[in-house]
Amino acid sequence: MKRKQIGKWAISLLIIGLMITSTLVMPAEEAENNEFAKTYEKLEVKKVTNKFSFVSDSLELNKITKASYLPREIKNQIGIDLPILGLEGMDVLNPHLATDGGGNILLAGEGYESSFNSDIYFRSSIDGGQSWLPEDGTIWFDLASGGIIPEKPVVDYSGDLGAIGSFLRLNPEGIPQFDFDSITDPEAGDGWQLLTWNDNDEVDSIDVCGWNSQFSPAPDFSKGMIVYTADDDTTTNVMHLLWSDSETGGQSLWTGSGDADYEWENVKTDNDLVTGMHWEVYEISSNQGEFEPGIEIEWCRLDGTNDWWQNNDWYATDVIEGASSPDIDSANGKMYCVFELDGGIYCAYSNNDGGNIDVMELSSTGTNPHVSIAGDSVIITYIDNGNLISAISENSGSSWEESTVNDESGTVMDDTHSSHIAGGYMAWTYEGSEYTSLLFDVAGVDVPIIEIESVSGGFGVNAVIANTGTADATDVDYSITATGGILGMINKESSGTISVNAGGSQTISLPMIIGVGAVTIELIVGSASETISGTQLFVYTNI
């Protein structure tokens, strides 16, 4: 599996290369005026042999427990950044966020009291982070009481299916999987559940990528994929892909059969919920000295079947030698991958679903970068001298605007999981007091926030849909369903799309219903949903 190499020598000779090539993607005068994005070159995009094969052992998925409410005082910290998770007598760290791109946010954080007493805690917001639920506590699974020692949680949005999550388990007794039917309501559907796969690999990095019903191979059971690297008890650290396709089992792939000459670590992954492109980036090294350790980006299109990884072509970039600590995000045919290189922060990006990939240098200093695509904007964060720095581009990476996020200088923990960004929302670990806690802020980008403002009955059902965000919402899917009545005779639905300007509202309707008896009205507008009970009196709906 021969890979071409891009190393430090290639970047250092870039200026000479620019004289004889056409790899520059931005006019020279723009680059001179933009001191934040400095260096460009192209990565070769190539079709590669599929490196995955089925795991020989059959894996089972077992239900462990449902989430529960933990009444506990949320401690506020100094500073005007919004405190979102601080617990008395313990460090709270390693935040991870998932968002629907509007106002709904899911936060996972690690609470650490001792080497044998840590847990994962959850809070959510339905108003873009202005307030957090539960107001006087958190949601948890009480992992410690079950002998589980967790760290570094990860969560990702799965469109209309909810969200998926996982965490590193320090005692290797199963691969954990969080299932969320809603990213904000732990009681919706089957609730928030923790499941486990009977795989005892010694996992050293883990991430999740959600998929929606269009791309899920089993929408009733599967909200996404767990991607992790682990020691296979030989000489190789291999990569695994794992997803459920039934209530008790699923598919498991690994690289252990085909690529024993390579080792994978620090994997990050994402799925484009619009185009169905699956992306991975990972640190890779060659046991044969074929190239210096670096990172590689690889991708393949989902098709809604279990065999997507065999049905469709895989593509990859060259190994970027010397690069480390990658992160990746994709949406609407775009992919942005950030990483450390030569003591600074670089970004590899594609605006055409991987058709070509360019590289730019963002900063000559910095560590532990993260990236998120929010509508037409791209936000990159990294840590520099104890501060969280954000860089925002609103023109597909041609120029960037840099700012410091945290208000209290030098108080951001600098670690691989100590900060995170999703959509336009940022969270980080604050270490300016006795115990660490999690703080939150919103990037300076405009996003729509769709809410169901009111629902009324009468001769049909009408719902007022408001956009309380700062950006217009375009072509938002909605449905209104009425079911029930005597002998279940009422079953009526209206669906379509609406567009709502920022600060405006629109009304959606379900025409006149005919029937008698109790009726349930279910509304879904984008990621907002509401279920209302009423009574149907022939042609009149009483809510």
Mean pLDDT computed over 187-196: 91
Whether pLDDT at 44 is above 60: yes
* Confidence category of residue 10, pLDDT binned at 50, 70, 90: very low
What integer pLDDT is reported at residue 58 of this predicted model?
Answer: 66
Please name each of the domains of the chain with its CATH number: 53-442 (2.130.10.120), 450-542 (2.60.40.10)
Q: Which residues contact 225 (CB under 8 A, 6 or more apart)?
A: 164, 208, 209, 211, 241, 242, 243, 269, 271, 278
* Confidence category of residue 157, pLDDT binned at 50, 70, 90: very high
* Confidence category of residue 72, pLDDT binned at 50, 70, 90: low
* Confidence category of residue 205, pLDDT binned at 50, 70, 90: very high
DSSP of 247-290, one letter per residue?
A: SSBEEEEESTTT-TTEEEEEEEEEE-TTT-EEEEEEEEEETT-S
Distance between CA atoms of residues 438 and 92, nearest Å:
7
Distance between CA atoms of residues 329 and 209, nearest Å:
10
| Tokens found for residue 419 | 């900060």
Q: Which of 86-95, 400-409, 468-477 has the lowest mean pLDDT?
A: 468-477
Helix, strand, coil abundance in the chain, percent, nearest 5: 5, 55, 40
Sheet holding 515-525, edge to edge: 490-500, 473-484, 515-525, 528-538, 540-542
Distance between CA atoms of residues 417 and 428, nearest Å:
9
pTM higher than 0.85 for the full model?
A: no
What integer pLDDT is reported at residue 57 of this predicted model?
Answer: 66
What integer pLDDT is reported at residue 73 of this predicted model?
Answer: 61
Of 368, 288, 260, 357, which is closest to residue 324 (Cα–Cα)? 368
Helix (H/G/I), strand (E/B), else coil: 133: strand
What integer pLDDT is reported at residue 82 of this predicted model?
Answer: 78
What integer pLDDT is reported at residue 448 of this predicted model?
Answer: 81
* Confidence category of residue 235, pLDDT binned at 50, 70, 90: low
* Confidence category of residue 298, pLDDT binned at 50, 70, 90: very high
What integer pLDDT is reported at residue 372 of this predicted model?
Answer: 97
| Tokens found for residue 38 | 């400095």
Whether pLDDT at 12 is above 50: no
Whether pLDDT at 443 is above 80: yes
What integer pLDDT is reported at residue 8 of this predicted model?
Answer: 36
* Confidence category of residue 357, pLDDT binned at 50, 70, 90: very high
For 9, the enclosing helix (H) or strand (E) is helix 8-12
* Confidence category of residue 24, pLDDT binned at 50, 70, 90: very low
* Confidence category of residue 5, pLDDT binned at 50, 70, 90: very low
Average pLDDT, the chain: 87
Distance between CA atoms of residues 36 and 30, nearest Å:
11
Mean pLDDT computed over 352-369: 95
